[in-house]
A = this chain, B = another copy of it.
Amino acid sequence: MEFTASQIASFIDGKIIGDENALITGVSPIESGETGHLSFIAQDRFTHYLDSSKCSVIIVSEDLLTKDYYNPTIISVKDAYLSFQVLMNLYQEMQGRKEGIENGSSIHDTAIIGDKVYIGAFTYVSEKAKIGEGSQIYPQVYIGKGVKIGKNCKIDSGARIYDYCIVGDNCVIHSNTVIGGDGFGFQPTQEGFKKIPQLGNVIIEDDVEIGSNCSIDRATIGSTVIGKGTKIDNLIQIAHNVKIGKNNVIAAQAGIAGSTTIGDWNQIGGQVGIVGHIKIGNQVKIQAQSGVNSSVNDRETLYGSPAISYNDYLRNYIHFRNFTEIVNRINNLENNSKDKTNE
């Protein structure tokens, strides 16, 4: 990364105040700026960094500027946050995509590999698997029998995608995530638990991103489904036959038990647990660490274990915090009552 202030200004249509040849070689958060780095200020409470930051170039929302000269070179724009995003996206794209099949990968003869695909060393592609155009499969990935991966996906190192699972277009699956492991299904018998074959698959629709170290189990029969545009953080458990709709956001370490159905545009907090065989509507918010054990209507906000309405939980929890005082009040009432009786 090496750009001048004037190159950056041209990308985002900004005005330069200061040295247009100032060189940047990296990016810093404004709180910990470094010489030679670029940063941005989009909020009033950060404007004091305009004078004190070590950054060489700062993109600033124009209405936050009050002087004609600052120590760092300033690039003045309408909305510094948006401009910075534009820039980061540009930079990301400049990195380019990887392409080509590396030595040391193992690709079955019957696998179908699209144009401009990258397959890293030590990646294993099983029979009849299909990798769509422009997808990047990093090293050490496992792709099972008959797996279909769409276009422009990125599958990071160490991900495992088991037999017959389907991944749509533009999906990102991070390292060491396992798609299509057996669902957890056993029948109790006198002698022990007998495995119920798990013969379904996992379907991941377009534009889904799944973090690292997640486990998404295949359906017993039919499919476990992750709907279009849903984003899943790290270390998340999705059990067999779960159906998740579109544009959900699920934070790290959440777990969803078998056969539960989840609608669209829900926000599920970190470490949330959702029991099996229930139905979550749309636009539901579930607070971190909650335990949801019954179906949920649209637009509810939940908290607690078992989860209840967010406001109720908070209100009741305040009483819980004062519980000792509350018990003291009961003690007093009882003492008063006895006194009266004894009068």
Contacts and interface: CB of A to CB of B under 8 A. Distances in A.
A301 interface: no
A324 B333 contact: no
Interface residues on A, range: 35 or more
Interface string A182-225: 10101100011101110110000001010111110101011000
Number of copies of this chain that the complex holds: 3
Contacts of A182: 172, 174, 211
A160 B184 contact: no
B222 A28 contact: yes
Interface of A: 27-29, 32, 39, 85, 88-89, 91-92, 102-104, 106, 120-122, 124, 138-140, 142, 156-158, 160, 162, 172, 174-176, 178, 181-182, 184, 186-187, 191-193, 195-197, 199-200, 207, 209, 211-215, 217, 219, 221-222, 228-229, 231, 233-235, 237, 239, 241, 246-247, 249, 251-253, 255, 257, 270-271, 273, 275, 288-289, 291, 293, 305-306, 308, 312, 315-317, 319-321, 323-324, 326-327, 329-330, 333-334, 336-337, 340-341
Given A174-B182, A212-B215, 10 more contacts: A28-B221, A29-B221, A85-B196, A122-B140, A158-B178, A162-B175, A184-B251, A211-B217, A215-B235, A336-B337
19 contacts: A27-B199, A29-B221, A32-B222, A89-B197, A92-B199, A162-B175, A174-B182, A178-B212, A184-B211, A192-B207, A192-B246, A217-B234, A253-B253, A257-B288, A273-B288, A305-B305, A306-B317, A315-B324, A319-B326
